[in-house]
């Protein structure tokens, strides 16, 4: 073989090695690019989850603050209701003013999520405080009267209703 042929073979081997090295480098670059893309997507997903979790935590903190405020306002609402009953009994001209204040206050609180609990039917120990048990013709455990209204805030119990319930009619023996 001539030197020229040897040189051509060496050049061709070097070119093959160079091409293989370039392909290896390109493959590494593609792999690195794919890894970086995957990391970027994971970070974006984690950040999105962080934003959602933070928004939920902020909303929960706001609701907790509202709940505490509403709990503190309940005695004032009770007193306004008592004032309305007292004024109605006297036939006073102040009735409309107190009714207006009471209705406006309840309207604002209802818009924030306050709801008055219905206290009808059977007493539920999770929703009602039994203050008194009376004899009546009603079935045992039936709510006869609401002593103090119960309230919820967005499905959470703030204060149970205080109620009077029936113990049923006792049968007289010996008759």
**Residue 174's CATH number:** 2.30.22.10
Mean pLDDT value of segment 93-114: 89
Burial tier of 6 (Cβ tally within 10 Å: 0-12, 13-18, 19+): exposed
- Whether the pLDDT of residue 132 is over 60: the answer is yes
Residues 87, 49: one domain? yes
- pLDDT value at position 1? 56
Residues 107, 118: one domain? no
Residues 63, 124: one domain? no
- pLDDT value at position 174? 47
Residues 10, 65: one domain? yes
Mean pLDDT value of segment 121-136: 89
Structure tokens at 164: 């009077």
CA distance 113 to 15: 77
Residues 36, 90: one domain? yes
Mean pLDDT value of segment 138-149: 90
- pLDDT value at position 7? 66
- Domains contained in the chain, number: 2
- pLDDT value at position 9? 66
Inter-residue long-range contacts of 109-113, CB under 8 Å, 24+ positions, other chains counted: 109/70, 109/73, 109/77, 112/66, 112/70, 112/153, 113/63, 113/66, 113/153, 113/154
pLDDT in tens, 12-22: 667 766 777 77
Which residues constitute the domain of residue 24?
A: 1-112
Residues 147, 162: one domain? yes
CA distance 160 to 71: 12
Residues 26, 106: one domain? yes
Residues 36, 104: one domain? yes
Residues 91, 127: one domain? no
- Choose one of 92, 112, 132: the last residue of a domain: 112
Residues 135, 59: one domain? no
Mean pLDDT value of segment 23-37: 83
- Choose one of 112, 140, 163: the last residue of a domain: 112
Residues 96, 163: one domain? no
Residues 6, 92: one domain? yes
What CATH number should be reported for the domain holding residue 8?
Answer: 3.90.20
- Choose one of 96, 112, 128: the last residue of a domain: 112
């Amino acid at each position: 073989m001539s030197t020229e042929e040897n040189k051509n073979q060496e050049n061709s081997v070097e070119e093959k090695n160079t091409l293989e090295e370039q392909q290896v480098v390109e493959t590494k670059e593609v792999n690195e690019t794919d890894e970086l893309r995957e990391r970027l997507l994971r970070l974006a997903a984690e950040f999105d989850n962080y934003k959602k979790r933070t928004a939920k935590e902020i909303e929960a903190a706001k609701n907790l603050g509202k709940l505490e405020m509403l709990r503190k306002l309940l005695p004032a609402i009770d007193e306004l209701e008592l004032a309305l009953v007292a004024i109605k009994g006297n036939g006073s001209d102040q009735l409309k003013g107190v009714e207006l204040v009471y209705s406006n206050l309840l309207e604002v609180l209802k818009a924030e999520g306050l709801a008055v609990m219905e206290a009808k039917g059977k007493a539920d120990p999770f929703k009602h405080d039994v203050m008194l048990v009376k004899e009546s013709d009603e079935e045992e455990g039936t709510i006869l009267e609401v002593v103090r209204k119960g309230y919820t805030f967005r499905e959470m119990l703030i204060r149970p209703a205080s109620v009077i319930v029936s113990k049923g009619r006792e049968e007289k023996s010996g008759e």
